[in-house]
Amino acid sequence: MNSPMVKLIINSIKLNPCSVDLYLRISNLGLEFERLID
């Protein structure tokens, strides 16, 4: 799970803690999307 995208998100969270909320929303959307694919 150490893709460049993940590292980019982690770095942006370190720079801007407010983006944690956004990251969690994106994660939830990703999980919902995976369920739809299955």
Number of domains in the chain: 1
The residue segments making up the domain with residue 27 are: 4-37
Among residues 38, 4, 9, 2, the alpha carbon closest in space to that of 23 is found at 9
Output the six-digit token pair for 25. 């929303």
| Predicted local confidence at residue 36, as pLDDT | 82
DSSP three-state, residue 37: helix
Rounded Cα gap, residues 37 and 18, in angstroms: 30
pTM metric for this prediction: 0.37
Output the six-digit token pair for 13. 């969270």
| Predicted local confidence at residue 30, as pLDDT | 80
Quick: pLDDT tens for 1-38.
568 888 887 787 677 776 777 778 888 888 887 888 77
Residue listed under structure tokens 């980019």: 8
- The CB-side HSE value for 28 (13 A sphere, CA atoms) comes to 6
Output the six-digit token pair for 38. 């299955």
